């Protein structure tokens, strides 16, 4: 079968970048219009610098995602015959279809996820091999998404349902 590439939605990423840019533009106003002589002024200055760093980092990270996609044609997810590969900029990983029982769509707040329901033996191995923090995260995933692990399905070029159907179709073959 053919390899299927799933990309992030550039339009949605550009909107998020624009929002970050607006906050970046207003943070210096928050910093310069505060008086360091009062506690409230110091808190505003700290919040202004923290906001500048946070939204600046957000702007840069979405810029990297867009540049990777436009210039290098790097997909976010690659579905092959035997696995789905997530090619995130800082952490790439692969989920083999032989380890998976099914994929499910769920959402937390307004963020869509694809829950990965592992076979019992694999799920037990993954949970036992995890650190305490990772175990906490996996328990949270089970409560919120209904599966040990999940793939982010928001802001993609396909709907979460289409993405889940593609994965389940490959799983059946």
Q: Examine the pLDDT at 167 and tell me if it is beyond 90.
A: yes
> Over the stretch 126-155, which tens digit does the pLDDT of each residue have?
889 989 999 999 899 889 888 889 999 988
For residue 31, what pLDDT band results from cuts at 50, 70 and 90?
confident
Domain boundaries, the chain: 4-72, 96-172
First to last CA, the chain: 10
d(CA 155, CA 151): 12
Joined tokens for residue 102: 């099914």
For residue 103, what pLDDT band results from cuts at 50, 70 and 90?
very high
Strands 100-108 and 111-118: antiparallel
Q: Examine the pLDDT at 96 and tell me if it is beyond 90.
A: yes
**Do 8 and 65 form a contact (C-beta atoms < 8 A)?**
yes
Joined tokens for residue 105: 């769509």
Q: Examine the pLDDT at 173 and tell me if it is beyond 80.
A: no
For residue 36, what pLDDT band results from cuts at 50, 70 and 90?
confident
Complete edge-to-edge strand list for the sheet that includes strand 111-118: 100-108, 111-118, 149-152
> Global pTM?
0.79
């Amino acid at each position: 079968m053919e390899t299927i590439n799933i990309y992030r939605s550039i339009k949605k990423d550009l909107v998020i970048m624009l929002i970050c840019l607006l906050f970046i533009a207003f943070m210096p106003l928050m910093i310069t219009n505060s008086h360091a002589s009062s506690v409230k002024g110091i808190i505003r200055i700290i919040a202004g610098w923290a906001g500048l760093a946070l939204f600046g980092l957000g702007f840069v990270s979405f810029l990297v995602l867009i540049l990777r996609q436009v210039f290098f044609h790097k997909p976010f997810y690659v579905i092959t015959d035997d696995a789905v590969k997530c090619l995130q900029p800082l952490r790439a990983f692969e989920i083999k279809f032989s380890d998976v029982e099914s994929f499910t769509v769920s959402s937390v707040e307004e963020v869509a996820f694809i829950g990965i329901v592992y076979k019992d033996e694999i799920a037990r191995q993954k949970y036992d091999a995890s650190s305490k923090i990772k175990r906490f995260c996996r328990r949270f995933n089970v409560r919120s998404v209904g599966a040990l692990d999940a793939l982010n399905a928001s802001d993609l070029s396909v709907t979460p349902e289409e993405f889940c159907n593609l994965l389940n179709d490959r799983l059946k073959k």
